Structure 1
Amino acid sequence: MPPPLPPSAGPAPGDNLRASLLMTGAMACFAVNDLLVKLSSASIEPMQIMALRGVMTSALLFALAYGRGALRPWRTAFTPVLLLRTVADVGTTISYISALRHLPLANASAIFQALPLTITLAAAVFLGEPVGWRRWLAIVVGFFGVLVILRPTGDGFGVYAIWVLVSVAFAALRDLATRRLPTALPSLLVAGITSVAVSLTGFVMLPVVGWSPMTADLWMWLAVASVAIGAGYVMIVASMRTGDMGFVAPFRYTVLLFAFALGVLVLGERPDWQEIVGSCIVVASGAYMIHREARRRRPLTVPPSAR
């Protein structure tokens, strides 16, 4: 009789702590990126931001991919599902930056946290994936939290809030496509290709929206934003590979804490009680959804976009 197989090794002691710190660091980087994009959007068009930041982010990601031997396999890179993912990511970036230009930083970030709920909803409606009553309840409660933030009958609702919801829809499509990418396709290569597509879209649209002069501050903000989004990407991938996702994934919501703090300290924003309560409802529902998905071994945390 052959000897029994050893039990599968889970995260080593301390791995979950390191992974949660990496996830938190990634969320801080994404919040810094959003802040710098918002500051830049006061002077230049979103398409110009996409074009210039995209060049710098692409260079960083491809340098990282080259250093890690991830610039392969090119033949499997250009697949219909990657094309779909790339188009969806471009849509996410355009709509989110357009909304971020006009909305408070914390509002935009809080609404975007409905993404895990939207992914599960889309998977159930369009892909026929089974969803139990608990997760349906979490979806309903989560979108109620979004309505609390939006205040459809008050000043908190407008076309720019709708743009965030459009961004969430594109992001859900992107993440569902990500699930179907070939497993041999390195994540850094996928991110690099997406970043190039975002940048090219910005350049193509520049003749329509016009070019604005670049100041030293704008160049600095976009350079730091590109480094922040690249660093955040590296940290989130490291986090996903280090810890147990059922434990680590809820730390993605720390982005809201950073967004609130940066909005208050840098932009002088003052979130009201409805924004805070709505954000808490969205976070609680999303965290529960991630917990249920982790039990089904389908974590909802995926590599971020170039937004």
Structure 2
Amino acid sequence: MTPTSRGILAMSASVVVFIFNDALIKLAAETMPPLQAIGLRGVFATMWCGLALLLRGEWPQVHRIRHPVVALRGVLEAVAAISYLVALAYIPFAIATAVNLSTPLFLAALAVLLLKETVGWRRWSAIALGFAGVLMVIQPRAGDVDVWTWLVVFSSLAGALRDVIARWVPPTVPTLVVSMSSAVTLAVVGTGWAVLDGWQPMSHYGVALVLGSSLLLACGYQFLMIALRSGAALAVIGAFRYASVLWAIAIGYTLWGDVPNLLAVAGIAVIVGAGLYILHRERVMRRTSHGR
């Protein structure tokens, strides 16, 4: 299997797994406080990652979780995940997923600030257009601030910072250790916060939803890191991330009867189009820099 095929398959798998994981945690948040569900999911995900490390004989490498870059990525993952999943409990599933697709837009802008990449007027125009699409989805009104949807925007920014940091993770650090770092941080922050707020009784149904979500989360982390480390061009595999919005619309309608209005649908199309164009320009620039 070629690196490109491997990267595409891994990214596609991560998209499906993460979307269903989000759906399960949204359902679980209907039976318990959102932060409690997030923290419990982090505990279960830590157990899955630990078991996988043992089975693969990589447990002796677990100390690398303390590497500064790995730890910082874990913190940013926790910030992005908690802010997104808390907001997800209060807004439609498809809307949250669509707004979260602004992560690549933030990533393109941060590449200039942190990675010193050169971004031309075409990509800047696409970034601006993409954020206009985000506003079309949010549909802000004077005097009516939708805190939860803007929290998803903040989550996207944190996720972009996480992805930038991921590029500096040493190649010697096993993928499962990176995944475990994210799970441990979520477990500590989520459960700690939930305890301070007052731990609530949980039904067997709610715990089962969180358990299933945690397994999907651990698998999603692994698939995503495999995709990022496959050697495939990010401009190619990144395009497959946008399939998540189709899954989100279908799941949101099936489980909650959510149907985005026409302006939101148009905004989703703008976000996806802008993101795909940015990925296209990155591929063009990479080919030009290599003289192809």
Q: Same fold (TM over 0.5)?
A: yes
Mean Cα deviation higher: 259-268 or 39-48? 39-48
Of 248, 267, 275, the residue aligned with 1:286 is 275
Q: What residue identity is the alignment partner of 2:189?
A: T
Instruction: Kindly indicate whether residue 40 of structure 2 is the aligned counterpart of residue 49 of structure 1.
Output: no
1:11 equivalent to 2:7? Answer: no
Corresponding residue for 2:149? 161
Q: Alignment identity in percent?
A: 31
In 1: Cα distance, 2:110 partner to 2:232 partner: 27
CA drift at 1:297: 5.4
In the TM superposition, residue 157 of structure 1 has moved relative to its aligned partner by 5.4
Distance, in Å, in 2 between the alignment partners of 1:60 and 1:295 is: 40
- 8 Å CA contact retained: 1:112, 1:168: yes
The answer to whether the 8 A contact 1:11-1:242 is kept is: no
Question: Taking structure 1 as reference, are residues 147 and 72 closer, same or farther at Cα in structure 2, changes over 3 Å only?
Answer: farther
| C-alpha distance in 2 between matches for 1:224 and 1:156 | 36
Choose the corresponding residue for 2:70, options 82, 89, 94: 82
Equivalent residues in 2 for 1:136-151, closer than 5 Å: 136-151=124-139
* Equivalent in the alignment of 2:197: 209
The whole-number CA distance in structure 2 between the counterparts of 1:242 and 1:87 is: 26
User: Relative to structure 1, is the Cα distance of residues 173 and 247 closer, same or farther in structure 2, using a 3 angstrom cutoff?
Assistant: closer
1:247-275 deviation digits (Å, cap 9, x = unpaired): 33211111111110000011111111111
Q: Report the residue type matching 1:194 in the other structure.
A: S
Choose 21-30 or 251-260, whichever is displaced more: 21-30
**Alpha-carbon distance in 2 for matches of 1:143, 1:269:** 23
Q: CA deviation at 1:239?
A: 4.4
* CA distance, structure 2, for counterparts of residue 238 and residue 188 of structure 1: 10
Residues 149 and 156, structure 1, Cα contact 8 Å, conserved in 2: no
- Whole-Å Cα distance in 2 between the matches of residues 155 and 230 of structure 1? 40
Segments of structure 2 that go 5 or more residues without pairing to the other structure are 288-292
Structure 1 vs Structure 2 CA RMSD: 2.5
Amino acid at match of 1:279: I
Provide closer, same or farther for how the CA distance between residues 69 and 180 of structure 1 changes in structure 2, counting only shifts above 3 A: same
Structure 1 residue 62 and structure 2 residue 53: aligned?
no
Matches within 5 A, 1:119-268: 119-153=107-141, 158-240=146-228, 241=230, 245-268=234-257
The corresponding residue for 1:4 is none
Q: Shift of residue 174 of structure 1?
A: 1.2
Worse-superposed segment, 42-51 or 251-260:
42-51
For 1:23 and 1:287, the matched residues in 2 are separated by 15
Counterpart in 1 of 2:290? none
AA partner of residue 32 (structure 2): I
Q: TM-score, normalised by structure 1?
A: 0.84
**How high is the TM-score relative to the length of structure 2?**
0.88
- The structure with the greater share of residues assigned to helix is 2
- Given residue 43 of structure 1, which amino acid in structure 2 is its aligned partner? T
8 Å CA contact 2:64, 2:177 repeated in 1: no
Distance 1:253 1:198 in 2: 25
The structure-2 alpha-carbon separation of the partners of 1:133 and 1:69, relative to structure 1 and needing over 3 Å to count, comes to farther
CA shift in 2, pair 1:297/1:206, >3 Å:
same
* CA displacement at 1:224 relative to structure 2: 1.2
Change (3 A) 1:139 1:244: closer
CA distance 1:284–1:72, change in 2 (3 Å): farther
The 3-state SS of whatever aligns with 1:266 is helix
SS at match of 2:32: coil
CA deviation after TM superposition for structure 1 residue 230, in Å: 2.2
Q: How many residues align?
A: 286
Q: How far apart, in 2, do the equivalents of 1:72 and 1:145 lie?
A: 46
Distance between the aligned counterparts of 2:204 and 2:150, measured in 1? 33
